[in-house]
Amino acid sequence: MTTLGLALGGGGARGLAHIHVLEAFDELGLVPDRIVGSSIGAIMGAGRASGMSGRDVRDFVLDCFAGKSLVFGRLWRTRPGSFQEFLADGGLRLGQLNAERVVRAFLPLDLPLHFSELKIPLGVMTTDFYGKLECEIDTGELFSALAATAALPAVFRPVRRDGRVLIDGGIFNPLPFDRLQGKVDKVIAVDVNGGPKGGPDIMPTPLEALFGASQLMMQSIIDTKVHMHPPDLLICPPVSHYGVLDFLRTKQILAETAPVKEETKRSLDALLSSKNSGRRQHGVTSVKAG
């Protein structure tokens, strides 16, 4: 039986498009044998690995980001409970939220606490800040790993775990399909990194320039890896015109990227059909809405 690996990339709110791919797997009756993710991809992957269906993940995020008051209410609950906790968090650190508190506030309450409790093996990519290398976590406590992979610099403070200072997994490996190669028969990768949108007449704001520069560096890493050792199937939802923090546009993102699900189903069916199952697919399948 063909084993499947699913790699879900980073991209902040753009990663909501991963839901269409999860639903495509479900509707074809396919279950990944292993999931590996960076940043939002790891968080989406954790939901699926815990036993949630793609529809469950969709319903949860639609409820979670249904309005500003709900989102700000969840963020408000992440504040330190005392001055001592405030100091333990590092004091006043501009633009650095406590990643673990935020992750816990925006994930299902019944999500397993440990990797060993997941129904599907999961690898969470992080970046070892001082070690200057990528670090895949697949054992031990789950929430600190998810906090670390989502710890985008200038937004979240780094996470200490196992004697390391960890930041966003996308810094070193924004689309970790290479972590699956050699471990499963077929590797499916979903790239939601996107890129800056505009023209020479538009000057980006400082924040847009910061996030856009990060996107460009990550895309360079992805393109190089795809050129050297491509996955069997690469899915690229059209998400470039959304920002990394556009979670309040969840409903719009899901609606506008909806065709990705059917395109993914067709591509998966072709990949796993008898005429293709015995040979590696070196082409890049780009799934676009409209």
Tens of pLDDT, residues 85-108: 544 555 445 447 888 888 888 899
**14-27: b (≥16 Cβ within 10 Å) or e:** bbbbbbbbbbbbbb
2 within 8 A of 272, measured Cβ to Cβ: yes
Tens of pLDDT, residues 238-283: 999 999 889 999 999 999 999 999 999 999 999 998 554 443 444 4
pLDDT at residue number 221 = 95
Tokens of 100: 């673990």
Determine the Cα–Cα distance for residues 98 and 143; give it in Å rounded to an integer: 12
Tokens of 118: 């997941």
Does the 4-274 domain belong in CATH 1.10.1040.10? no
39 labelled catalytic: yes
pLDDT at residue number 196 = 84
233 within 8 A of 285, measured Cβ to Cβ: yes
Is the confidence at residue 210, as pLDDT, over 90?
no
Domain range list for the chain: 4-274
Determine the Cα–Cα distance for residues 169 and 126; give it in Å rounded to an integer: 4
Percentage of residues in the chain having pLDDT higher than 70:
87
Q: Which of 38, 50, 144, 168 is catalytic?
A: 168
Point out which residues pair with 187 in neighbouring strands: 5
168 labelled catalytic: yes
More confident residue, 201 or 173: 173
Is the confidence at residue 65, as pLDDT, over 70?
yes
More confident residue, 125 or 288: 125
Is the confidence at residue 82, as pLDDT, over 90?
no
Tens of pLDDT, residues 144-187: 999 999 998 878 889 999 999 999 999 999 999 999 999 999 99
CB neighbour list of residue 227: distance below 8 Å, 6 or more residues apart: none
Q: What is the mean pLDDT of residues 207-213?
A: 85
Q: What is the mean pLDDT of residues 18-46?
A: 98
When the pLDDT of each residue in the chain is averaged and rounded to a whole number, the result is 88
Determine the Cα–Cα distance for residues 76 and 168; give it in Å rounded to an integer: 23
Q: What is the mean pLDDT of residues 191-206?
A: 88
Q: Which of 38, 39, 50, 144 is catalytic?
A: 39
96 within 8 A of 119, measured Cβ to Cβ: no
pLDDT at residue number 81 = 52
Q: What is the mean pLDDT of residues 107-120?
A: 95
CB neighbour list of residue 233: distance below 8 Å, 6 or more residues apart: 186, 187, 188, 189, 267, 268, 271, 281, 285
Confidence of residue 79 (pLDDT cuts 50, 70, 90): low
